[in-house]
Structure formats: structure tokens, C-alpha cells
Structure 1
Amino acid sequence: MHGLAIDAPSALAEEATLAALLRCCVREVAGPRGLVWPAPPYLLLRVADRLLRARTYGGAALRFDGPLERLQDGAWRPLTTDELVGLVEADLQGHNAEFADQVAASKEAVAAILRARAAAEPPADPWLASEQALVYGHPFHPSPKARGGDGWLRYAPETHAEFPVQLLGVREDVLAEEGDVSALDGMGRAPDGYRLLPAHPWQLDLLRPAFGAELIDLGPGPVVSPTSSVRTVYAPDSAVCLKFSLNVRITNCVRKNAWYELAGAVELSSRLKPIFAEISAKHPATRWLPEPGYRSAALGTHLHEGLGVIVRQSPWAACAPGVTPVLAGALALDAQAREPLAWWSAYVSAVALPVVELYFAHGVVLEPHLQNVLVGQDAAGLPAQAVFRDLEGTKLVAGRHDLDGLHPEVARALTYDAERGWTRVVYCLLVNHLTEIAAAVAGHDGGLLRALWRIARDLLAKLAADLGWPLPLSDLLAGAPLPAKANLGVRWARAADRTAGYVPIANPLA
């Protein structure tokens, strides 16, 4: 299931959907109640009144080997997604009329993606190919590919889609912009008195803005390719990425650039430049993708946010010559580590160490989950650089930075308290990211998996000593449980993603 097979789309979609939902049940439903038991070679769990089992490997990544089964009338029988949805609904004893439909929609989306992907030509750019490799989505989400709106397939990264942006002209007296957006001006020609504003064609279909003297339609522009987040695209002719708003729900969130996030991206790009320069001096593999500017139309909040586009540096511009950026999420599917211990040591050094030091030494909270990190591989396939991106999830620890002069809403959106920030770092870095990469490297070899975590512990312990053994890092290395995001819980509650809680899981560093 973790490969990119494209035959029997419906069967593969059922397998992937069932596996993701069962992982959620282990982590969020049965696990916290003590209803998960090892019974080698199986893992047993109880959901509602039913005993379930699966062969697993990969530690907390919970990768499955063989069929997922339920015990009925004294015999083990194949489990289906519909059956597991019914068990979840019975166990949680609430009412959510949307839940079953969201799971079914995600499964149908995976099947549609697989069918379209079979007939598509993958991009020659290896980085872009990695961005478009996440066919099955988040392994611990009940509906990872559920997407709102119609016509989404022609804009889906997983189908190797390409499409032209739509160029708009914004009259200069209603232009909203900050920072350096010069890359946008090279995408076409605007009439005198207007400035170019590229728009995502899907978002235009959703917004249907009224065109007139202040906002004009200039027709199709350069062809772009969607990256893993769907709404961020790569414009090769301009060598930049563009982060658009999309007023549709993708996984847990409606993907809209709020006005304070537009301003915050530019503010963070300025503030982080000297900090990353200092971090890179100590951790030379560290790179990041600034978001130097945004542009929109000052035609009310709805259009200001809906048409807002953030310019982001291309990863190719961040990586050294001879280094190829690859999405970490794609490496979690197939790491291809020829020398696993050396590869993993280089990976943890490049990815984990600067993230931890940024938090403790600089009060910066990165969000280094699998879709926010690109790993630059050298000619031998070894991790040589780590490229961190997406300033929406990057925060400043409250009290560590002078935010006087910022709009209060911008300042609020840029900050986390120290505890919340550390929880987010640990979840994204260890649970979402390194756990999946370690599972991909180790495969079915449990001994190798344990050896990988010993290496990670040694590297983090050395950094802890350099930093003076800060208490949260000391607790982590002593075996404190890890926080795992409760995606099933937040979807069941129909709550905003920012309200998602965490459940404790075992710490492999112990």
C-alpha cells in the first residue's frame, strides 16, 4: 500500500482508506483506553464490541502486512472500511452525519487519482515528481483525500496536473501588497495603471469575483504545476512557487490565506533571515524558503484574502549545485537508503538538529512535518541539506521577540506560548516525520529500527549538552510520551484544525 501502484484503483483505495482509519483507531480510540495488545505476530485492538487484528511493523508508524481482520463467530474475517466506520460511530457514541461521507469521499478520491495517474505523464523534474507522489495522503487521518468543491481532479498534484494560472489586472489604487513581488510582474503584461495578479483558476470558479474597472480579467497566464499542498504551485518560467487561497476543505482546513497570514509571511521572512543565517553557520545543511511578498486586491476582506497570493522561493534556488530536493513525504514511501545507518545519521543531523536548536536558542517554532521539509540529496543519494518551508505554520515563542509595532492580529497569529510551541515541534518532527522515515528505512527489520532510534537519541543528546540540557529536551530524551495529533478526534468533532488535541504514544528515544 505504501508504493505507488496504479492497478485495481478501487481495491487499492479501499486498502489505503481502511489502513488509515485503523491506524487512527489504534492511536486515538483503543490506545488511550488500554484496548490495544501485542500478540505476535499480530496487534490486537477492540473497537466498540469487536476484536480486530493486524500484522504490523515499523513501530509507531503502524505499517500493515497482510489483511486487516475482525473476529466474528469465533473466526477471523476480512475487515472493510464500511464496517470499521460503523464500529467507530458506535464506539464514540456521538452523532456526526458527515463522518461516513467524508471517509467514503476520500476513498473515492484515491480511486479517481489512481485512474487519472495511470494515464498521466510524470514530470521530468525529480523534486516536482516527489511533490506529486502522495497518492494515499496522511497515514493517520480518517479522510486524507477528502476535498471540497467540484472539478478538483484537474488541479490535483497526484495526477501530474498542469494548468495555466489566470491573470488578473488590479487597478493600482486598489492594489494590496507588501514586500518583494517582482516575480509576479514578469508573468505577463498589464495595461497602464494596473498590476498583474495571478489567480488559481479553481479559486476563481469558487469566488466568481465581479470584474469591472478595478479588477479586470487578462486571460490565461503561465503554466504551473501543483505541489503536495494542492494550493501551492510551481511556476517554472518564473522559478518561484505561488501560494494561493483555496476556499475548499482539504483534510482538516479550508485553505485560505487570511489577511494576517499574508502580512505575517512577509514579516517572518524579514525576521528569520538573520536567524537562519546564524543557524546555517552552525548547521551548514540548513536551508529555508523565504516568502518575501504577497499581492492581492483591496476590494474587501473576502477578495483580499481570496485572491491573495504569496510568493515563495523555489527549492532549486535554495539547494547547492549537485543537490536534488526531494519531499520528505515521498521519502517516507521509499527512502532507498543504501547504507541505512549512515543515511539516517545524515538525515537526522540535517533535519532534526536545526529544528530543535531554533526552538531553544532562538524561540522559533518550525512545523517540520513531512510536507514542510524538502531533503536535498547528493549524487550518492545521501541527505546533504534540509530545506524548511511554509511560514504559515512557523511561530515565534511568546516573550522571546519584540513584536511592538505589529498589528495585534498579526502578532497573535505569529506567536505560540512555549509549551504549545514545543508540543508542535515534537509532534511534527518526531511523530509525523522521523517515525515515518525510520519505518521506511528499516522496513520489516525491527533490530535496525531500534538501532536508528539509538542514533537519533545520541545526536539529540549531544545537541542537548551543547544547549545546556533544557528541561523539555531532557524529558524527551528520558522517555516522556510523544504527542500525536488526534486527526480522527478533530474530524469527529467537526472542529477547526487549530483546536486539535494530542494523544500520548510511546517514545522510541527511551
Structure 2
Amino acid sequence: MLLTSRALSADDATATALLNCLVREVCAPEQQLWVDGPRLLMRLPRVGVALRTGLARPPAGPTYRITAPFEERRDDGWIEAGWERLADLVAGELELAAGHANPEFLAQVAGSRRTLAALLEARPDVPGGDPYIESEQSLLAGHRFHPSPKARQGDPADWLPYSPETRARFKPHWLAVRADAVVEEGDPRAFARLGAPPLPEHLRAGHALLPAHPWQLALLADLPVYRRAVAAGIVHDLGPCGPEAAPTSSVRTAYLPDADVFCKFSLDVRITNCVRKNAWYELAGAVALDRLLGPVFARFEDCTLLAEPAYRSVALADRRLHEGLGVILREGVRGLPGTPLLSAALADPYGTLLPELPALASADGAQAWWERYVRLVARPVLRAFLDHGVVLEPHLQNVLVTVDGDGMPVRAVFRDLEGTKLTAGRWDLSHLPARVREAVTYDAALGWNRVVYCLMVNHLAEVAAAVADLHPELEDGLWRALGADLAASPHADRPQVRALLAGVPFPAKANLRTRWMRAADRSAAYVPARNPLAARPGACVSRAESR
């Protein structure tokens, strides 16, 4: 079964995400999971309900490729279990496990399903012309292991015009801000690359241009401090103009292809997990990390860390405006060798990008593609952590891979300094404010968990599964190739890598439990997931009794 050929429905995608979370965070850790031929059976241990799904193939990695139908055991038979029933069952299980309710949970799941339905209805059929932008805007179903991957605050009329899934384009909303009300760090010349509209003649002296996200500005425009600043001539509203921007997979970060610059806007809107604003310490932290990490990654030959050279905002008497209008600039992708593609688009089981790459047409080509991909993505991440104390966050939406004309990987590109951290004690950060230091550092053990989860579980396991969707006979060999590359890497003798090769379980981020507990992402728990790098065939999966 090729999952890349599956049609996407909001109901099935919502059910699949819930069950993926249930398998990873409840049933597998508590040994309530069985493979029964072409089906996966699971039991919710506290509510005492048995469920089953289709299974595309026997599992090789830490995750399962589950498929419809989704069914619940009733008396002596099986009946269909829709997404609403599954959400109720999951909520009941988590309430008993945690000892408390979460009144927001079911509404978040339902909201995510409504969002996906609206996106499917609004998405144009005709793809865009730029393969990179198309890859950024292809993620309709979102995170496969999140209970509400498309949760998005607000009315669809507010966010559809700015949604990557609708292949949207929009013009940034430009403000002219009096110089004494501008706050910025980094290289101010970076803003000159944006192709901003010319300032009106009477504002050319003593004013700076600030791009704003139109959705965000609509949320902030009625704040009294902002209105007084406009009335006093401190801020001048120039309206939407200048070059078009294409929203990327994160929604709030937009790419201006004509300028080849990304603008990471603030959005005071909850998307999936959290409100997507640029906190003041994240604005300062981005520029601080850029200065520290630039010299380090300049020595890395086969990867790129996209620079974030500057931010700009307003200095008005309301922190909501300083954070809400803060924009971080990120360098673009046009100077990279090959065609950049978002890794999440390559791994998307509902997508078509991976099958379209000529290099994957044959099993031998797909194996060679994977071996190149692993080397380019995994080795820089391990080198950054083990040699330099840098915690990259290489999850699928934070990595681009450039490819040549046949689709063979050429270079790995890492982005988003908000998720990048420094190992505490490895760097001199005494020049930074205490809150910024706190925001840019991780404890070493927490950092390693984050690296292994993002790299192995979130990223490589999903790409391997997508390759195996095309060539199922390869899946075991893909993991053997990953293990061989780690064993041949310059860091094979490090204790952390040796532990991975010995089969120590992977840490998998517990998105379902984190949502139930309403915890911050930084405080997310991890659950053990199967590490197949040293596993014998069949060692970790038990067979169900005949039913």
C-alpha cells in the first residue's frame, strides 16, 4: 500500500493523529499494543476499551503506519469509531491517568478538525510555480503525532488569507516609525534588502520602515498606546505594499522571494501549541545566537545554518507592542546549491513530493538517496552538539534539504534560532541579560533528549517511513544504513552515539500528554520509543492472540 496515494479527509486525519499519539504515549509504553497481521490492536488500560486500525506494513522503526478503518470492540464484534468517539476515549483515558480533567482538550481537537476542513475547501487545485514555496505550503494535515495539529485561533475569515495551506500570498503592512521610537539589534542593513516601499518625502528624515503582518496589526491596532502613537505622528501607517510574501509552514514566518529574505513576524494567536509571538528575550536571543553561531557553522562544509542578522520593533509604552510588532529577519535560500525543499514535505504521507523525485524511482536509487540524506542531516547535528555544545532543533519543519536535478540531496539547511539552544556551561554568556541567557540555554541532558527526539524520531523515522511507502522492502535496510553511518561517523566513539547504536530507547516527545497537562513546550515530557538500530527482527513487537 502506498500511503502517498491516499486522499486526505479531515475526519481520517484527525483520527489518525489521535491514534498515533495514543499508540506512542499510552499503549506502547504500557505494553497494550499488538500486531495482528494487517491490523494493529491496542487497549486503553484505564477505560478498558480495545481499538484496532489497519496497518500498512510490519513496523521497522519507532512508529507505525496506521490506516483506516478505525474500530472499537463492542461485545463480540468491531464497530466503526469516528474521530469524535476516539477523542472522547482518549480524553477519558488521560483524565484517569492524570487524575484531573482538561476542559479545553475536546474543543482543541474539534477546532483542529474544523481548520483542516476549511483548508481543504479553500486550497486551490493548481500548484504554485516555485518548488520551494510549494513544499512550504503543502502540509495540510500537519504533525502526525499531535492531538490537534491544525488548531488555529480565530475565525477562518481572519486566517485563510495568510495560511500557507491555501497557497496564500500577501503584501506586508508597512509602518514608518520615528527614529526615537525604534528598537533594533543586529545589522540594520538587513532591512534594506526587503524591497520596502519608499518613505513619503516628509518622513524620509528620522524614520525607519517596519514591516508588520496584516493579521497581527489588525489584532493590535486598537490598543490605546498604538492609537496614540499614530495620532501623535510617532507611527505612520503606510498600508499593505511592496513585494509579496508567501507564508511558510510555521504560518507566521513569511518568505519574500523577490528580496530572498524571511520575516519572522509575531502573531498573538494560538497555533497548535502556543501563542506565536516574538517575546522580547527571543528577539534579543536571535541576534545573540546569530553572532555566536555564525563563526561555528562557517566551518561546517556540507550544511548551512540560516542567519538571523537583525530584528526591529517599536519602543512604545506597552510590551505587547514591542513584542507584537517585533520582526526577526532570516537570510534566504537563493544562494544555496540545488533546489531547497522542506523536509516535512518530503515526509508527508499525504504528499506527492517524494515520489516525484527521479532518484527514488527504483529501490536502488531510493537506498542511495537515503544514505546521502542521512549523512547530510545527521552528522552536522551530532557534531554541533558533541563538539560545540549547540542544540539544534532538526525537526521536519526546521530543516530544508537542497536537491540536484535528479532529486539527490546536496546540502542540509537548518533554521529557526528560537529552537536552537546552547548547552549550559559550555559558552560564556555573561554579556547577555539573565532572561536571554535562560532562553538560549538547555541543560545537557535535556538538550540531548531534544536532539535525539527531533533528529531520530520526528525527522529521520518519518522520512524513512515515507521512502518505505514507495519501496516497502527497503525499510529494514534503511535503519541498517542509518546505524552504519553513525558507526562510521567521527563521533561513533562518543558515549551518546554508542548508546544509540546499542539500542537504548529513543526519547519521543509526548505531545498528547503535554497538551493534556497544558505545559509549556520547553517542559514537555518524553516517553521511550523503540530504537531499531540494534534490534533483531521481531524482537520488539508481540503478536496478538487469534481473535
TM value normalised by structure 2: 0.88
Structure 2 counterpart of 1:200, from 198, 207, 213: 213
Measured after TM superposition, the shift of residue 189 of structure 1 is: 2.2
Measured after TM superposition, the shift of residue 46 of structure 1 is: 0.8
Residue 495 of structure 2: aligned partner = 471
* Count of matched residue pairs: 496
Please say which of residues 244-253 and 184-193 is displaced more in the overlay: 184-193
Give the conservation status (yes or no) of the 8 Å contact 2:382–2:491. Answer: no
Give the conservation status (yes or no) of the 8 Å contact 1:183–1:238. Answer: no
Match of 1:359, SS state, is: helix
- The 1:231/1:114 distance shift into structure 2, 3 A limit, reads same
Structure 1 counterpart of 2:441, from 415, 421, 427: 415
* Cα shift readout 1:163-195 (whole Å, capped 9, x = no counterpart): 111001111011101112434344112312210
Measured after TM superposition, the shift of residue 95 of structure 1 is: 1.4
Match of 2:500, SS state, is: helix
Kindly report which structure 2 residues correspond to 1:123-162, keeping only aligned pairs within 5 A, or say none. Answer: 123-150=128-155, 151-162=158-169
Structure 1 counterpart of 2:240, from 220, 223, 226: 220
Residue 325 of structure 2: aligned partner = 307
Give the conservation status (yes or no) of the 8 Å contact 2:266–2:327. Answer: yes
Q: State the distance in 2 between where 1:5 and 1:471 align.
A: 41
Structure 2 counterpart of 1:43, from 36, 40, 45: 40
- The 1:444/1:125 distance shift into structure 2, 3 A limit, reads closer
Match of 2:396, SS state, is: coil
Structure 2 counterpart of 1:260, from 237, 259, 281: 281
Residue 313 of structure 2: aligned partner = 296
Q: State the distance in 1 between where 2:36 and 2:183 align.
A: 60
Measured after TM superposition, the shift of residue 203 of structure 1 is: 0.5
Verify: 1:114 aligned to 2:120, yes or no. yes
Give the conservation status (yes or no) of the 8 Å contact 1:132–1:157. Answer: yes
Q: Identical aligned pairs, as a percentage?
A: 51
Q: State the distance in 2 between where 1:46 and 1:467 align.
A: 40
Residue 463 of structure 2: aligned partner = 437
Structure 1 counterpart of 2:488, from 462, 465, 468: 462
Give the conservation status (yes or no) of the 8 Å contact 2:179–2:207. Answer: yes
Residue 86 of structure 2: aligned partner = 84
Structure 2: which 5+ residue stretches go unaligned? 535-547
Structure 2 counterpart of 1:176, from 178, 183, 188: 183
Q: State the distance in 2 between where 1:216 and 1:63 align.
A: 53
Please say which of residues 36-45 and 485-494 is displaced more in the overlay: 36-45
Q: What code does the residue aligned with 2:35 have? A: P
Residue 335 of structure 1: aligned partner = 354
Q: State the distance in 2 between where 1:325 and 1:451 align.
A: 26
Measured after TM superposition, the shift of residue 468 of structure 1 is: 6.4
Q: State the distance in 2 between where 1:367 and 1:439 align.
A: 20
Give the conservation status (yes or no) of the 8 Å contact 1:247–1:306. Answer: yes
Residue 269 of structure 1: aligned partner = 290
Q: State the distance in 2 between where 1:444 and 1:328 align.
A: 17
Q: State the distance in 1 between where 2:320 and 2:6 align.
A: 41
Measured after TM superposition, the shift of residue 3 of structure 1 is: 4.5
Match of 1:439, SS state, is: helix
Structure 2 counterpart of 1:326, from 330, 333, 341: 341
- The 1:66/1:85 distance shift into structure 2, 3 A limit, reads closer
Q: What code does the residue aligned with 2:445 have? A: E
* Cα shift readout 1:21-76 (whole Å, capped 9, x = no counterpart): 00111111222222112222221101222111122235433222341211112112
Structure 1: which 5+ residue stretches go unaligned? none
Give the conservation status (yes or no) of the 8 Å contact 1:120–1:160. Answer: no
TM value normalised by structure 1: 0.94
Q: State the distance in 2 between where 1:28 and 1:225 align.
A: 35
Kindly report which structure 2 residues correspond to 1:230-269, keeping only aligned pairs within 5 A, or say none. Answer: 230-269=251-290
Give the conservation status (yes or no) of the 8 Å contact 1:4–1:135. Answer: no
- The 1:439/1:149 distance shift into structure 2, 3 A limit, reads same
Give the conservation status (yes or no) of the 8 Å contact 1:178–1:295. Answer: yes
Give the conservation status (yes or no) of the 8 Å contact 1:198–1:221. Answer: no
Q: What code does the residue aligned with 2:401 have? A: V
Measured after TM superposition, the shift of residue 496 of structure 1 is: 1.8
Give the conservation status (yes or no) of the 8 Å contact 1:295–1:309. Answer: yes
- The 1:305/1:482 distance shift into structure 2, 3 A limit, reads same
